[in-house]
Structure 1
Amino acid sequence: MAENNSSRGWIIGLAIVVAVAIGAYFFLTSAPEPEIPPVVSEPEPEPEPKVDLEPEPEPETADTGEQEPAAEPERELPPLNESDEAVRKDLLSLAPDGALGRWLVSDEVIRKWVAAVNAASSGQMMAKNRPYNSPPGSLVVEKEGATGMVLSEENYQRYDTPVRLLANMNNDAAMRLYRFWYPRLAEAFAELGMQDKTFHDQVLKAIDVALDAPEVDRPIQLVRPSVYYKFADPKLEKLPGVHKLMIRLGPDNAGRVKAKLRELQSELQQFQPPRQ
């Protein structure tokens, strides 16, 4: 159960992998409002002359109503090779106060996310060229008896922040991002040479893999035959990397992740990607 520093970053990735790399609502344009003609008030009628011949009141100035501001111009999709700055800015918009900033890389963003999704669709986690930065920290274990070791429940707290960011992510904003960037995601996926598959299919498969992660009774026994810890149970050790990660999250965090993924899955299943 070798755990490198990619695990917590991968949860952040899952939020964005699923909804993908991928501006929040700020770039969306709405239909322009119809122009509103200026409203002109009629001048007050002149009063009847009085005996003392008071001066006539001046007519009131025409009151012109303000027009609605013009709609912003439609946003253009940048070329894949020039997309890093724009897509990273869009990704940052998925969480408040730039909370995703320290997790996200700034180069080859779309290509790296596409590769991460493709790996996750088969249960694997990328060790190199990841689209997120590795956080500090290591696996937390507890001693059990003279030689035994178990996965500490303190370990679950290491994942609280990325899981919270995922759970609080706005689904509508994420889906708008996904639709906007999908042509570039598909373009990057085509570079992998898998002509019988689509990127959208791989996203849905990645979600299915995570949702299929088993629930495991605690305490979880560990062994350390070399540098890395492994699950003592051979069946657990043979699980795909995504499933091992879900176990390391702890039951509460894993439940929150799965609940969010089901919401996104429902949205994504209604999306019909354009033919390339």
Structure 2
Amino acid sequence: MPDQDTAEFRPAPERTSPALWIVLVTFACVVAAGAAWWFWLRPVEPAVAPPPVVVAPEAPAAPPPAPEASGPQNPVDALAPPDAALPALAESDPRVAELLAELLGRDKLAMFLQTDGFVRRVVATVDNLGRAHAPSRMWPVQPTAQRFVVDGTGEAPTTIAAANAARYSAFLAFAEAVPMEPAVALYARLYPLFQQAYEELGYPRRYFNDRLVAVLDQLLQAPEPAGPLQVKLTPVNTDVPNLRPWVRYEFVDPALEALPSGQKILLRMGPANEARAKALVRELRKRVATSDVARK
């Protein structure tokens, strides 16, 4: 996993189960504030006479909106039936933590995962992995303890240190030890919670498992550079000293910096770790991509 960053979590208007992040490894307030300003705080303008009515030619009819998905492309009920008596999403943390502890062990659970709001964390992070930012404060996993390390100092471009890859070894070993079949079955049992959380993000007629498959496909397309990757510190126009400069690194290559956040996470892990992570992603995809088309 990458270092903690300071990017803000993308709010609800636009937005897996233990296995999903284990295997990896994802504007409402603004609109409301803007609306409040417009209706309550804007300056009062003097009344003006209405403009004369002009009869314009009838505009052509707008094209009909794109049809909503009639059903999931990758049905989860093909994996396992959902639990018959799931708690409400807002009250699901204790039950989810209990099931995760049964699967992983309580020590590993505490060491690697964040169980408060686990379902919502997973859904938001999976969705964000396909976007520009995946804010660490929403991760369902604990960020790596050590700092991101590079081969140089100062503002000049440098390269990611080879030693940086060791920071991810413990998490990858943990992920590789998770039993895949029981983990995916648990995901399916809890799936209604994940689907509800996904709908809350602003996708009421879309399906979280379809989004998961799409993000897994995107992760598998991450570049695999042969040599060290150059990085540089993001410029900050402020006189306030930055006490955590290691979170400000970005790729020098603009094509790499423009990649989705999930692909950049894989690149920062180093080539060997990226290959291990992709092997896990590939195995997970075989199970959650339940449609015949998606399996190809």
TM-score by length of 2: 0.63
For residues 76-100 of structure 1, the C-alpha deviation after alignment (integer angstroms, 9 at most, x for no partner) is 3222222101112222344356213
Instruction: Determine the structure 1 residue equivalent to 2:224.
Output: 215
Check 1:127–1:13 CA distance in 2 against 1; reply closer, same or farther (3 A cut): farther
For the pair 1:182 / 2:181, whether they are aligned, the reply is no
CA distance in 2, matches of 1:132, 1:236: 24
Give ranges in structure 2 of 5+ residues lacking alignment. 6-15, 25-82, 236-244
Instruction: Determine the structure 1 residue equivalent to 2:21.
Output: 17
Give ranges in structure 1 of 5+ residues lacking alignment. 7-11, 21-73
Percent of aligned pairs sharing the same letter: 29
CA distance in 2, matches of 1:129, 1:143: 30
For residues 196-231 of structure 1, the C-alpha deviation after alignment (integer angstroms, 9 at most, x for no partner) is 421111111121121111001212222225442222
CA distance in 2, matches of 1:18, 1:128: 17
Maintained 8 Å contact 1:18/1:207: no
How far did 1:14 drift? 8.3
Q: 1:101-116 alignment to 2 at 5 Å?
A: 101-116=110-125
For residues 38-73 of structure 1, the C-alpha deviation after alignment (integer angstroms, 9 at most, x for no partner) is xxxxxxxxxxxxxxxxxxxxxxxxxxxxxxxxxxxx
For the pair 1:237 / 2:247, whether they are aligned, the reply is no
SS in 1 for 2:111: coil
SS in 2 for 1:142: coil
Maintained 8 Å contact 1:159/1:249: yes
Instruction: Determine the structure 2 residue equivalent to 1:259.
Output: 279
User: What is the aligned-residue RMSD (CA, Å)?
Assistant: 3.0
For residues 15-43 of structure 1, the C-alpha deviation after alignment (integer angstroms, 9 at most, x for no partner) is 433779xxxxxxxxxxxxxxxxxxxxxxx
CA distance in 1, matches of 2:141, 2:263: 19
CA distance in 2, matches of 1:137, 1:13: 26
Amino acid paired to 1:17: W
CA distance in 2, matches of 1:186, 1:141: 40
Maintained 8 Å contact 1:88/1:104: no
SS in 1 for 2:142: coil
Q: How many residues align?
A: 211
Return the structure number with greater relative CO, CA threshold 8 A, min gap 6. 2
Maintained 8 Å contact 2:18/2:100: no
Check 1:252–1:19 CA distance in 2 against 1; reply closer, same or farther (3 A cut): closer
Q: Give the alignment partner of residue 200 of structure 2, picking from 191, 207, 232.
A: 191
How far did 1:141 drift? 0.9
